[in-house]
Structure 1
Amino acid sequence: MMMRYWLLGLIFFAFAKASTAQIQRMEPPNWWTGMEHSQVEVMLYGNDIANQGEVASDLPIVNITKPENHNYLFITVETAGKSAGNYKISVGKKKANSKTFRLENRESGSKEREGFDSSDVIYLVMPDRFANGDPSNDSVDSMADKLNRSDRNGRHGGDIQGIIDHLDYIDDLGATAIWSTPLLEDNDARTSYHTYAQSDLYNIDPRYGTNELYRKLADELHAREMKLIMDVVPNHWGATHWMMQDLPMKSWIHQFDDHQDSDRDFPVDGYANSSYRQSVQMDPNASEYDMRYAEKGWFVSTMPDLNQEEPLVLNYLIQNTIWWIEYAGLDGLRVDTYAYNEKQGIADWTRAIMKEYPNINIVGETWLHDQAQISYWQKDSPVAAIQDYNTELPSVMDFTLHDAIMEAFKEEEQGWDKGMVRMYENFVNDFLYADTDNLLVFMANHDTNRFSGSGVYNNNEANYKLALTLILTTRGTPQIYYGDEIGMMGDKSKLGDGDIRRDFPGGWKGDAQNAFINPTAEQNEYQVFTKKLLNYRKNKSVLHTGKLLQYVPEQNCYVYFRHNDNSRVMVIINNNLEAVSLDMSRFAEGLGKAKNGLDILSDSEIDLSGTLQVAGKTSHVIDLDN
């Protein structure tokens, strides 16, 4: 008899515990009025939340989904026609277990916001390594990875406040937009500074600041007529993401039942690494085996691969991105590992974002080494059209130009396929792209070797000036990597990623030298050239959208023009160690009626009749107007 009462008591206790289970999380935390995406799928998380009884909402309920893990509940509510205010969502008969879902007034013109474009120059910042504006958040109790500036792969303490503190420097340099590598929470125990293994998609990492401070960064940029680009990662998240110990469903991430799992700190049936062979995605002859590992393999073992074929996952990612654009007032997105996603899933994700914001810009990381394969991922690609595929992605990254840049300026004698011919041949293939103005062009970024790094160009100012001239005057949207404008060194091949992500000198109190306000003579040489060319480009619209007219390089000297009906600029890049003599009659088509022009780099007038002597390892940007 006593045993019977004990069991009844245990059952009653379990029932009471379940009936009072609390909603621990609600995502998204709020939404806005007047959104195209008006049916919002609100995710609730709490112990056995799906079995608590009746679901009620002050907003009309369109659908309720109970996934296989009953600690989750997905409630789709309709926000169309509703005014701003607080709306309660409740679970359970007494409606005591509830959350307030707030609708905010959408800012006027939000849908029509203009994204970054080829009139911009993007400054790429790695926040942990740029500047430490708030030392009080260098280490945070709740985050595993603590400050260790002596470790090139550790956290160094840079943060959002450090970026805000130096916006005037970036503005004065001539950049018009900032792309920051991810700032969302990453609770990995090691190398968390890069923040590509995110553990919470709705919160800024506390070592960088707060959501409110991120929004302030956008406001500060907009006050300077500058733009903010967020780095988003729909392909994967981190092993420490809060869902990983309690997935909504097995199919939320890609799992490989035919693989033996090894050394996982979270429940996964089987893990397989990506093949990294992204050309498989467009291969008409590809095997299903290869497609599986290209699309579904994990980028690395600490970054679980998200399954965008699962509608709940895809909508979660879409809503999260829209939430950040609306919350922070973003001007664009950079999408990490774009070509690693589910081919159809990432197209659907992109289409949803562009439907909400038709004029915003999104650039995808398309790290491939063939123009046709890069083109495949751009909106309206003539290459992808062959397979009736369209990503709707406005912009892709011109990695083949980067490949050429990292080789050509070491090749001081022109060959059939060496030296400046590499540049010419890259642009020959522009016919493969739907929109060459919307290609991101760059010398280096946070994943590649530093341009001036040891083993590449060895801090050679002349080569830097030639390469910068190219990316700031050719077609596309230029991106420069923080520190390149002072000749920052770094060698990825020898010392890994941490070495190409060095601290910007002067970003930390007590730094021996401050390149922001007191550069060395060598740093100043880089800075002055960069500032001059960036600020000229800012106000020269023909360099933003003008047609490109190029000439086959001779003597390792490359000549091209940017032109439209009203304006012309001539660019000469002499990669030869020796001076070359150019017969200007060859360039009559580009020169038009111009007999002279102003070289904006030397502030000198150039006679364009007869022949022109161009010094070795020298570039000219010659304004032909007036």
Structure 2
Amino acid sequence: MKFLSKIYVLFLCVTFSVAAQIDKVEPPFWWSNMHNPELQIMFYGKNIARYEASVSNNITIKNVVKTENPNYIFITIDTKDIPASDFVFTFKDKNKVAFKQPYTLKNRNANSAQRKSYDASDMMYLIMPDRFANGNPDNDSSKWTLEKGNRNLPNGRHGGDIEGIINHLDYLQELGVTALWNTPLSEDNDPQGSYHGYAQSDVYKIDPRYGTNEDYLRLSAAAKNKGIKLVMDYVTNHWGAEHWMIKDLPSYDWIHQFPGYGQTNYRMTTQFDTNAAAIDAKYCMDGWFVKSMPDLNQSNPLVLNYLTQNAIWWIEYADLGGFRVDTYSYNDKTAIAKWTKAITDEYPNFNIAGEVWMHDQAQMAYWQKDSKIGAIQNYNSHLPTVMDFTLHDALGVAFNENDAQWDKGMIRIYENFTNDFLYPNINSILTFIENHDTARFNHSYKNDLSKYKMAIGLIATVRGIPQLYYGSEIGMAGDKDKGDADIRQDFPGGWKGDTNNAFTKAGRTAAQNKYFDFTAKVFQWRKTSKAVQYGKTTNYIPENNVFVYFRTIEGETVMVLINNNATQQTVATDRFKENIGSFTKGEDVISKQAIGLQKEIKMEPKSILILELQ
């Protein structure tokens, strides 16, 4: 008995020693049979760098890096031909074992490397989780995070969470959603305004006010079961000032320092301007987005490996269907290209949409994979998808320009498409009328349903991947001039006690149902149309503020007509013979009415017709 007691005391001492020495291990586990067999593991604990490490199971340690902060060791191992298994790191002090740390390689899911990601056949729905639906009021506040739930504060935490999203996947499915992009769900421990999630404080942990890592896995599985791919909003450019590593930097150059805070100039053009002053380029790439978001130094190999492995960890762990990357073009462009390539090397079909918020097609096309414009400077970002901000810009004003002019109205929209040749893959471009950072479309157009229909019908039928921002489909508005909170309002019906439940047909108002019904009908139909997903586009120069274009693929032709006039128009069809050919009629995908094509088509003011030709 006395002997067993001694063993128990020894066990307690060893357990305490491990707990005292190692606070974090990241990645917390990994997988066997990865494309890149080298794995960099970060061990963090008080004065851990004083120890020498070894590992069991005949695993080779390729490299050990100790930084100026003695609380970190970065150990790179070779996992090639190592099966899924448990093994142990041993840490010694003067050849004497001080403590041990177990580690696990797991089996990958079948066909993980070849997973299907989102593409031009999808419709992506953007949610701000804190503002969508509160499925679990018990996690509105957390003892682990600073900011507490308070729905009365416009910029506060309102309580939306992962459970709320899971509860309304049927709604998304009914709407025609096939890819779900949530703004960041990882922990953001800012004392105020943390709901947006872009100042992350732990990138291996879901924010407890949204749920747990296991809840995120449930969301991924439940969404996949309904044909919806889960898209993570990934942030490579910065972390939040409350990130645990920012509070105890592994090295001075883990972040960009001036020293300390230096404000970015936001001038992304300096990334490729051959005449840019070096200091201007530096402040674009290295400057902090805001003071509460320290800028990560991706040119530091330890940082780049950490970000790459964290991204791959989430893909593998949560069975993700894609990324959207925040502020892509503010990163060190050489490093972010390596990051992107490492991910797409691991997952060849994986799509990543980068936020390149610029207002010139050549400048945006520079950032797409295999760009001939980038190649002029021997640059390839390897980024599959960029966001079509120039189309967004045009859509924000064109529908208020009622009269035919040289450069306004539908000509403005048409001219955007004339530059499509600049993009190496025009089908892999994200189109949208708004997102969580822009003016709300329905506010800009004073909730004019006709203009909303024209815009949604257009992004549903032009090249690219259409993206819808939550609430647009029920007429939600919001004034950006009043601040970000106004364009990020709570979805009605997402909270107990809401008098308007827009998640159900019976709960929606008559006006909300008009928005929803049109949106759902267009995007459900879009799932069936290969022509609008991948077909060739033929644009006809707008006449009298009427824009006509065709999408064609073998066996299918779709004709789209948009009348941007405030009056009825009659459109003669003889001009479109090269596309109409022997077709005699078209079925309107909304009304299901047959419309003759022989002579002319009458169009109501401010209207769109989407016709499947027969």
User: How does the TM-score come out when normalised to structure 1?
Assistant: 0.93
Q: Which residue in the other structure is 2:415 paired with?
A: 425
What secondary structure sits across from 1:275 in the alignment?
A: coil
Return the alpha-carbon distance in structure 1 between the equivalents of residues 205 and 605 of structure 2: 52
RMSD (Å) for aligned C-alpha atoms: 1.3
Q: Which residue in the other structure is 2:139 paired with?
A: 137
CA contact (8 A) 2:18 2:99 kept: no
Q: Which residue in the other structure is 2:473 paired with?
A: 485
Task: Give the deviation of 1:591 after TM superposition.
Answer: 1.0
Return the alpha-carbon distance in structure 1 between the equivalents of residues 117 and 581 of structure 2: 34
Q: How does 1:197-212 map to 2 (within 5 A)?
A: 197-212=199-214
Q: Which residue in the other structure is 1:29 paired with?
A: 28
Q: How does 1:544-563 map to 2 (within 5 A)?
A: 544-563=533-552
Return the alpha-carbon distance in structure 2 between the equivalents of residues 254 and 102 of structure 1: 33
Task: Give the deviation of 1:245 after TM superposition.
Answer: 1.7
Q: Which residue in the other structure is 1:7 paired with?
A: none
Residue from 106, 119, 123 that aligns with 1:104: 106
Return the alpha-carbon distance in structure 2 between the equivalents of residues 463 and 242 of structure 1: 47
Q: Which residue in the other structure is 1:609 paired with?
A: 598
CA contact (8 A) 1:122 1:480 kept: yes
Return the alpha-carbon distance in structure 2 between the equivalents of residues 335 and 150 of structure 1: 31
Q: Which residue in the other structure is 1:476 paired with?
A: 464
CA deviations 1:35-91 (Å, max 9, x no partner) are 012111000011110003444444321111111111100011121111212111121
CA contact (8 A) 2:53 2:89 kept: no
Return the alpha-carbon distance in structure 1 between the equivalents of residues 474 and 18 of structure 2: 62
Q: Which residue in the other structure is 2:314 paired with?
A: 324
2:533 aligned with 1:531, yes or no? no
Task: Give the deviation of 1:107 after TM superposition.
Answer: 0.9
2:507 aligned with 1:507, yes or no? no
Larger displacement relative to structure 2 (60-69 or 319-328) = 60-69
Return the alpha-carbon distance in structure 1 between the equivalents of residues 529 and 251 of structure 2: 53
Return the alpha-carbon distance in structure 2 between the equivalents of residues 182 and 18 of structure 1: 35
CA contact (8 A) 2:264 2:284 kept: yes
Q: How does 1:79-228 map to 2 (within 5 A)?
A: 79-92=79-92, 93-228=95-230
CA contact (8 A) 2:562 2:609 kept: yes
CA contact (8 A) 1:56 1:95 kept: no
Q: Which residue in the other structure is 2:378 paired with?
A: 388
Larger displacement relative to structure 2 (33-42 or 53-62) = 53-62
CA contact (8 A) 1:19 1:52 kept: no
2:579 aligned with 1:580, yes or no? no
Task: Give the deviation of 1:21 after TM superposition.
Answer: 5.0
Q: Across the two proteins, how many residue pairs are aligned to each other?
A: 594
CA contact (8 A) 1:18 1:48 kept: no
CA contact (8 A) 1:396 1:439 kept: yes
Return the alpha-carbon distance in structure 2 between the equivalents of residues 386 and 244 of structure 1: 37
Distance 1:508 1:21, change over 3 A: closer
CA deviations 1:500-558 (Å, max 9, x no partner) are 00000000111111001110000000000001101110111111000110111111111
CA contact (8 A) 1:20 1:97 kept: no
Return the alpha-carbon distance in structure 2 between the equivalents of residues 33 and 19 of structure 1: 26
What secondary structure sits across from 2:376 in the alignment?
A: helix
CA contact (8 A) 2:285 2:330 kept: yes
CA contact (8 A) 1:23 1:97 kept: no
CA deviations 1:126-169 (Å, max 9, x no partner) are 10000000111000011101111111110000000100000000
What secondary structure sits across from 2:561 in the alignment?
A: strand
What secondary structure sits across from 2:407 in the alignment?
A: coil
CA contact (8 A) 2:157 2:194 kept: yes
Larger displacement relative to structure 2 (269-278 or 337-346) = 269-278
AA partner of residue 612 (structure 2): D
CA contact (8 A) 1:60 1:78 kept: yes
CA contact (8 A) 1:48 1:72 kept: yes
Q: Which residue in the other structure is 1:399 paired with?
A: 389
Return the alpha-carbon distance in structure 2 between the equivalents of residues 311 and 18 of structure 1: 31
Task: Give the deviation of 1:97 after TM superposition.
Answer: 2.0
Return the alpha-carbon distance in structure 2 between the equivalents of residues 250 and 358 of structure 1: 35
Q: Which residue in the other structure is 1:3 paired with?
A: none
Distance 1:57 1:612, change over 3 A: same
CA contact (8 A) 1:405 1:467 kept: yes
Return the alpha-carbon distance in structure 2 between the equivalents of residues 53 and 516 of structure 1: 58
CA contact (8 A) 1:124 1:179 kept: yes
2:287 aligned with 1:303, yes or no? no
Return the alpha-carbon distance in structure 2 between the equivalents of residues 344 and 57 of structure 1: 36
What secondary structure sits across from 1:317 in the alignment?
A: helix
List runs of 5+ in structure 2 lacking aligned partners.
1-15
Return the alpha-carbon distance in structure 2 between the equivalents of residues 146 and 18 of structure 1: 34
Task: Give the deviation of 1:95 after TM superposition.
Answer: 3.4
CA deviations 1:580-601 (Å, max 9, x no partner) are 1111001111212111110112
Return the alpha-carbon distance in structure 2 between the equivalents of residues 362 and 605 of structure 1: 40
Return the alpha-carbon distance in structure 1 between the equivalents of residues 331 and 141 of structure 2: 33
Return the alpha-carbon distance in structure 2 between the equivalents of residues 523 and 418 of structure 1: 30
What secondary structure sits across from 2:434 in the alignment?
A: coil
CA deviations 1:586-621 (Å, max 9, x no partner) are 111121211111011221100111121111111100
Return the alpha-carbon distance in structure 2 between the equivalents of residues 598 and 180 of structure 1: 35
What secondary structure sits across from 1:369 in the alignment?
A: coil
Return the alpha-carbon distance in structure 1 between the equivalents of residues 581 and 193 of structure 2: 55
Return the alpha-carbon distance in structure 2 between the equivalents of residues 65 and 367 of structure 1: 37
CA contact (8 A) 2:17 2:99 kept: no
Identity of aligned residues (%): 53
What secondary structure sits across from 1:383 in the alignment?
A: helix
Return the alpha-carbon distance in structure 1 between the equivalents of residues 448 and 419 of structure 2: 29
CA deviations 1:548-570 (Å, max 9, x no partner) are 10111111111100002221000
Q: How does 1:302-451 map to 2 (within 5 A)?
A: 302-451=292-441
Q: Which residue in the other structure is 2:236 paired with?
A: 234
Return the alpha-carbon distance in structure 2 between the equivalents of residues 461 and 19 of structure 1: 62
Residue from 467, 473, 477 that aligns with 2:455: 467
Q: Which residue in the other structure is 1:263 paired with?
A: none
CA deviations 1:434-477 (Å, max 9, x no partner) are 01100000000011111102xx1111111100000100000000
AA partner of residue 287 (structure 2): G
CA deviations 1:165-197 (Å, max 9, x no partner) are 000000011111101110000000000000000
Task: Give the deviation of 1:18 after TM superposition.
Answer: 10
Task: Give the deviation of 1:344 after TM superposition.
Answer: 0.2
Q: How does 1:583-594 map to 2 (within 5 A)?
A: 583-594=572-583
CA contact (8 A) 1:25 1:45 kept: yes
CA contact (8 A) 2:54 2:61 kept: no
Q: Which residue in the other structure is 1:39 paired with?
A: 38
